[in-house]
């Protein structure tokens, strides 16, 4: 299966969302999962198979930002408008930087599976987002 | 002269900027565009010098892109604001009659509210200090 496509304008947090502000380390667009790089303290596109650090998702980007510009991220949201092409199941971090994919794509050697959000069955444009989940990334076997 | 051509990726506040402040976007905004606060929705929209006095009451300049419903940071005071475009040193810049734009004051005409953004320090930075007129200009 392929990565989900993201429609940036459709990525919208709810009023109950928990948001955080950081600085982009590269060009980021709404809907992209991002991680916090320890070496520069900036937010970069998360990646499921680059390293444990890149696979530790800090949140979902909420705005367009170039390197050095402010970047808002959503870390938790019970009704997050995810803006992806997913219509069921959950959103998982992809092995493509800044992308999300279905669960079927995450079980591979050298990949750190991480579930980001679960779609609502009745309103598929919304998802329960939790980037602070207790799920511990593991290398796929 | 014409509106300053902004490269969104190059817009940056300085370390001396006041704030910045944050409100949700009520329209699609890109970095470097001038914004006002719509009091009815409490959201940021693109400021416009000849739409209305309210729309010309500048809140500041957006620091990054934002779609409607998402938070947007902006600054109104910054002694060395990098606008992301080419300026003329010493020129006074104002809000333009095209939504979100920055223009030299000489571009404004009858019916445009004079909303001052600041004076250029150089070809790239603006001594940003936003304040707007309360009536339509002559």
Q: Report pLDDT digits (tens) over A61-116.
A: 999 999 999 999 999 999 999 999 999 999 999 999 999 999 988 887 778 888 89
Which residue is listed with tokens 């990646």?
A47
Measured from the Cβ of residue A68, the count of other Cβ atoms closer than 10 Å reads 19
β-sheet bridge partners, residue A33 = A60
How sure is the predictor about B1, in pLDDT bands with cuts at 50, 70 and 90?
low
Q: How confident is residue B79, by pLDDT bands cut at 50, 70 and 90?
A: very high
Cα A84 to Cα A80: distance, rounded to the nearest angstrom: 11
Mind telling me how many Å the CA of B110 is from chain A's nearest CA?
36
Name beta bridge partners: B75.
B61
pLDDT band at A133, cuts 50/70/90? Answer: low
Q: Which residues of B touch A6 (CB under 8 A)?
A: none
Average pLDDT of every residue of chain A = 91
CB < 8 Å to A65, chain B: 31, 64-65
Confidence of residue B133 (pLDDT cuts 50, 70, 90): confident
Task: Indicate yes or no: CB of A68 within 8 angstroms of CB of B68.
Answer: no
Largest interatomic CA distance in chain A: 42
Q: How far is B15 from chain A (nearest CA, A)?
A: 12
> What average pLDDT does the segment A123-135 reach?
81
Structure token pair of residue A27: 């060009």
Q: What is each CA distance from B138 to B52, B53, B111, B114, in whole angstroms?
A: 14, 14, 6, 9
How many residues are given for chain B? 138
Instruction: State the Cα–Cα distance between residues A98 and A85, nearest whole angstrom.
Output: 15
Distance, CA of A53 to CA of B51 (rounded, Å): 49
Residue A130 DSSP SS3: strand
pLDDT at site A88: 93
Is the CB of residue A92 less than 8 Å from the CB of residue A33?
no
Strand partners, B36: B45, B58
ipTM greater than 0.90, yes or no? no
From A19, A21, A69, residue closest to B11, measured CB to CB: A69
pLDDT band per the 50, 70, 90 thresholds, residue B20: very high
DSSP bridge partners of A42: none
Looking at residue A135, its pLDDT comes to 53
Per-residue pLDDT for B45 more than 60?
yes
Residue B121 has what DSSP assignment?
S
Give chain A positions within 8 Å (CB) of B31: 64-66, 69
Terminal-to-terminal C-alpha distance of chain B = 19
Chain A closest CA to B119's CA: distance in Å? 23
Given this model, what pLDDT does residue A110 score? Answer: 78
Q: Residue A136's pLDDT is what?
A: 52
Residue A139: the pLDDT is 59
């Amino acid at each position: 299966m392929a990565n989900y496509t993201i429609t940036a304008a459709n990525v919208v947090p709810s009023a109950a969302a928990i948001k955080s502000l950081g600085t982009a380390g590269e060009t980021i667009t709404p809907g992209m999962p991002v991680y916090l790089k320890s070496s520069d303290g900036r937010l970069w596109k998360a990646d499921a198979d680059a390293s444990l650090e890149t696979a530790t998702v800090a949140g979902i980007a909420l705005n367009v930002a170039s390197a050095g510009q402010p970047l808002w991220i959503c870390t938790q949201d019970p009704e997050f408008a995810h803006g992806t092409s997913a219509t069921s199941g959950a959103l998982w971090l992809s092995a493509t930087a800044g992308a999300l994919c279905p669960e079927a794509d995450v079980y591979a050697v050298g990949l750190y599976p991480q579930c980001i959000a679960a779609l609502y069955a009745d309103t598929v444009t919304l998802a329960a987002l939790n980037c602070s989940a207790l799920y511990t990334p593991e290398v796929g076997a | 002269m014409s509106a300053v051509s902004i490269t969104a990726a190059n817009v940056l506040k300085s370390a001396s900027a006041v704030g910045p402040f944050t409100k949700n976007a009520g329209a699609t905004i890109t970095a470097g565009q001038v914004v006002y606060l719509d009091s009815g929705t409490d959201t940021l929209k693109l400021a416009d010098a000849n739409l209305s006095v309210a729309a010309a009451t500048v809140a500041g300049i957006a620091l990054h892109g934002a779609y409607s419903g998402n938070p947007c940071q902006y600054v109104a005071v910054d002694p060395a604001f990098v606008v992301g475009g080419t300026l003329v040193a010493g020129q006074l810049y104002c809000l333009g009659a095209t939504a979100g734009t920055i223009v030299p004051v000489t571009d404004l005409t009858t019916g445009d509210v004079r909303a001052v953004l600041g004076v250029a320090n150089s070809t790239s930075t603006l001594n940003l200090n936003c304040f707007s007129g309360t009536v339509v200009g002559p």
